[in-house]
A and B are shown apart, each in its own frame.
Chain A
Amino acid sequence: EPEVTQTPSHQVTQMGQEVILRCVPISNHLYFYWYRQILGQKVEFLVSFYNNEISEKSEIFDDQFSVERPDGSNFTLKIRSTKLEDSAMYFCASSEYGGIQETQYFGPGTRLLVL
């Protein structure tokens, strides 16, 4: 069964450093998402992406964050200058057409620790 993959599974970085989290959505899916989960808290929406542009973003997704689809398979989340509070599990998700009435498939997550 097709699945969303994410790399790396874990990343440790120093405060102020740039990190890039990578995702490979399901191949025929057109709509991509990033969510994050701070330890012990609920999962929160960050950004959705369709047709090479941001469709929606939350208040969390400030100027420190950016997303990109650099090629036909990868979808990336960049955090320009990491802060301690960026430590979280980051999940990538994809759906086939981006309609509300369809399943979003989640990847296994990247656990980011900022020291």
Chain B
Amino acid sequence: GIQVEQSPPDLILQEGANSTLRCNFSDSVNNLQWFHQNPWGQLINLFYIPSGTKQNGRLSATTVATERYSLLYISSSQTTDSGVYFCAVANYGGSQGNLIFGKGTKLSVKP
């Protein structure tokens, strides 16, 4: 089945810094979503982005489907951005409609 790899596994930032999180996937995808898991364990939808670029406030994401990767950018990070960021994908060939998650990037933003 499709493999999803996220990097880096851990990231520590000072408040105000910018960061880029990467998601590589092993096959073509028809669905790609980014999530933020907050310290309470809740999964927050950030983006649905199987291709192209989207922005929402300080967050933006770009997926280059032909090269099988997606990037999540966080600008001017805040302590509330701390948590784990997951990339999840689905495709017709393997996972059907079910999302396959990566292992996540754990982000810690220090004040």
Q: What is the interface of chain A, defined by CB distance below 8 A to chain B?
A: 31, 33, 35, 37, 41-45, 48, 55-56, 58, 89, 91, 95, 98-106, 108-109, 111
Q: State which of A45, A48, A56, A103 has its C-beta within 8 Å of the C-beta of B33.
A: A103
Residues of A within 8 A of B97 (CB): 31, 48, 55-56, 95, 98-100
Residues of B within 8 A of A89 (CB): 41
Best-buried of B31, B33, B91, B97 by chain A (most CB within 10 Å): B97
Chosen A-B contacts, 10 in total, with CB atoms closer than 8 Å, are A31-B97, A43-B86, A56-B96, A99-B97, A100-B31, A100-B91, A101-B50, A103-B33, A104-B33, A108-B43
Is B35 at the interface (CB under 8 A from chain A)?
yes
Is there an interface contact between A100 and B43, defined as CB atoms closer than 8 Å?
no
How many of chain B's residues touch chain A, expressed as a range? 20 to 34
The B interface is mostly helix, strand or loop, or mixed, namely loop
Is B26 at the interface (CB under 8 A from chain A)?
no
Which residues of B from 4 to 28 have beta carbons under 8 Å from A? none
Is B72 at the interface (CB under 8 A from chain A)?
no
A100 and B30 contact, Cβ closer than 8 Å, known pairs A106-B43, A109-B41, A109-B43: yes
